[in-house]
Structures are given as structure tokens and as C-alpha cells.
Amino acid sequence: MTTRLNLQDGFTLLEGMIAAVIMGIGLLALSGMQTISLSKNVDANETTRVTNLASDMIERIQFNRQSVDDYNSLNTTATTPCPAAMPYMARGDCLQWKSLLEDPKFRLTNVQGTVAVQTTGPTSPALRERLVTVSVTWLGSINTDTSVKRTRTVTVQTVVAPE
């Protein structure tokens, strides 16, 4: 004798199709998240490299703290970004920083590095303190979404006082 329970074992065709649709939607969502994750990873990688280059320039200026004013108005995209009239060490730092920013292995497009040096606070004439601002601006990665490229900027500041 066959019971009614044995006749209803397993999934029906409709239940199997609904499960396949739900699983397909979940897989599509995962693939979309993978694309977003990859582009954000590329952005984070670029930001890390640019931040390291900006911090490197700050460290160079701190090392040459007696000549901190020589770095003022430095712009790597200027016609003569590192003029021959610059003191030897500042000019060498400028040339090296420019070549690092424009290095093809970094694949940064429209990259520009600037340095601004300002007098700080009321005590600065006596202490000769200077606020140094290093900024690097570039157009978003060539590896991310090509339809929307945004200008990105990293700015690093420090106060430098000659010894």
C-alpha cells in the first residue's frame, strides 16, 4: 500500500526553478561586488603610493631644514620646475621627486606635485618656523572605471624649524 507521503518526495519543478533564480541573483550580486572591490583596491593602492611620495618629499625638506624656503612654490608641472638657480640639495630633491611622480610604472595620469612654505604663528620670526604643505594631484587610475575619472589630491603638512 502506498501512502500519500511517498508521492510527495523531493522538489517540484517550480521549486527548483525558484531556487535557481535566487541563486543566480546572488551570484550576479557577488560578481558586481567583485568589480567594485577591484576598483577600490586600485584606488587605495594609488593613494598609498602617492602618500608615500608626498611624505618622502616632506622628509627631504625636513632634512634640509636650513634651506626650507628654497622649496617654496615648487611645482612639478611648471615650465622649469627645478630652476638651475635653486641650491644644489633642493634642486636635487626637486628633480628626483619630479621623476618619481612621473615614473611610468606608477601609471598616474596628469600628476602634479606642489610645495608651499608659509611663515607660521606670531613666534615664527624668532624661531623661523615654517608650515610646509606638499600636495600631489592626479587623475584617477587608468585601471578603474573609465567612464568616470575624478581628480584626486593628497596633501601632507608639517612644521619645520631650522636648528
Q: What is the pLDDT of residues 14-51, one digit of tens each?
A: 888 999 999 999 999 888 888 888 888 888 888 999 99
Backbone CA torsion sign across 60, 64, 69, 70:
negative
Question: 94 CB contacts (<8 Å, ≥6 apart)?
Answer: 71, 74, 76, 81, 82, 86
How many residues are present in the chain? 163
Which amino acid, one-letter code, is at 61? Answer: I
Question: What distance in Å separates the CA atoms of residue 12 and residue 6, rounded to the nearest whole number?
Answer: 14
149 versus 26: the higher-pLDDT residue is: 26
Asked if residue 106 has pLDDT above 90, the reply is no
In the numeric block, which cell numbers belong to residue 71? Answer: 622649496
Question: What distance in Å separates the CA atoms of residue 89 and residue 65, rounded to the nearest whole number?
Answer: 11
Average pLDDT, the chain: 85
What was the pLDDT predicted at 7? 57
Are residues 132 and 160 in contact, defined by beta-carbon separation less than 8 angstroms? yes
146 versus 17: the higher-pLDDT residue is: 17
What was the pLDDT predicted at 13? 83
What was the pLDDT predicted at 35? 81
pLDDT tens digits, one per residue of 108-124: 888 999 999 998 766 65
Name the pTM for this structure: 0.75
What was the pLDDT predicted at 126? 65
